[in-house]
Amino acid sequence: MLLSGQFVNMKGFALGPKVWLAKNLVCAHQPNDHVPDTIENLTNRGARQPCSSSDVYGLSSRLSTTTKNRLQIDDETRHISIWVDESSEQTRQIVKSYAKKQETLSRKERRTWHMVHCLLEKRVGTKVIFPKWFEEVADRLFVDDLRVRRYYPAFVEACRTVCLIRSFQPHRKRSKHGRLEVDFADFAITTLIFDPVFVESLHLNRGSREDTRQLVADVSARKGRPVEAKDIARKLGISMDKAYAKLRYAAQIGVIRQANKPQKSNRKAYLSTPRPRFVPDPEKLFQELKDLKEPVRFVHPITGEWVEYRHDE
């Protein structure tokens, strides 16, 4: 069986840890490899139908969901994690949607998506290169975590993908050798989509310091003011001494900051500090890249609003 541009559904609830191994074997192959027979045995264990082998062409990706806070140890550094909205408001919207009539795509909309797929399929394999200024991205990259060595190549490939998708715009032209070059708008769009995801993944389960940062952020958002030791003591059910020590240590390592000026009563209130970015802010980077003379204009991938970067006069 040939797998190219196909979705493969592996139901993990029935096979447990074994299907996890099968999924990893699929994703670990090199382009144009034969999928090992091991996968057939794992995914068809106990099945009556005969097993069939598969050849996978092109790079593969995997989407998976879990209710756990951590992935398998080997998965933790090989994947990026996207957390869903766990608020009660979102849960309410989800349960209400089940009773509503589900709207399907019209025939015209399906034809449009089929045409998009066909156009992209024809352009698959086009070489996508990077301009000289892209080296500045690596120079400003967050590098205080070894996982960056795996995450940055994923970000680079995402830039290539965005460039390929946007290459159908009338003003985009390929070089005489048929190559595409990532432009600043491609980089900016990729960053706006993926930077929060990489930041979340890099700081996921990073110990007590991240727990304290998140705790202060949550309590502050709920109360609408900076957080004091008494708030932490009450929230965690610990003594004031332990609450003070927790906040003091978090402030020393920079995950929270004191929000009020020193007072005679020695009262201290704190706010969480923003997590470090993964890649540089596109708008700030554009201001530093003086060789980019022309303004950059594109549609924000999340809000749908127009964004324009110009050099300050």
* Digit-coded pLDDT (tens) for 149-184: 888 998 999 999 999 999 988 888 777 778 999 999
User: Quick one: pLDDT at residue 51?
Assistant: 53
Dist CA 269 CA 231 (whole Å): 10
* Digit-coded pLDDT (tens) for 34-53: 444 444 444 444 444 555 55
Helix orientation angle between 148-166 and 107-123, rounded to the nearest 10 degrees: 110
Helix (H, G, I), strand (E, B) or coil at 128: strand
Q: Of 60-69, 81-90, 205-214, 264-273, which has the strongest mean pLDDT?
A: 264-273
User: Quick one: pLDDT at residue 185?
Assistant: 96
Query: Residue 277: which of 79, 135, 143, 182 has the closest Cα?
Result: 143
User: Are 144 and 276 in contact, with CB atoms under 8 Å apart?
Assistant: yes
Structure-token pair, residue 215: 């705790």
Structure-token pair, residue 217: 């952020």
Residues of the chain above pLDDT 90, percent: 33
What's the Cα-to-Cα distance from 166 to each of 59, 103, 188, 253, 286, rounded to whole Å? 20, 28, 13, 42, 20
Dist CA 29 CA 37 (whole Å): 13
pLDDT band at 13 (very low <50, low <70, confident <90, very high): very low
* Digit-coded pLDDT (tens) for 95-154: 988 888 778 889 999 999 999 888 888 887 889 999 999 999 999 998 888 888 888 998
Domains of the chain: 2-65 (no CATH), 110-203+278-309 (no CATH), 208-272 (1.10.10.10)
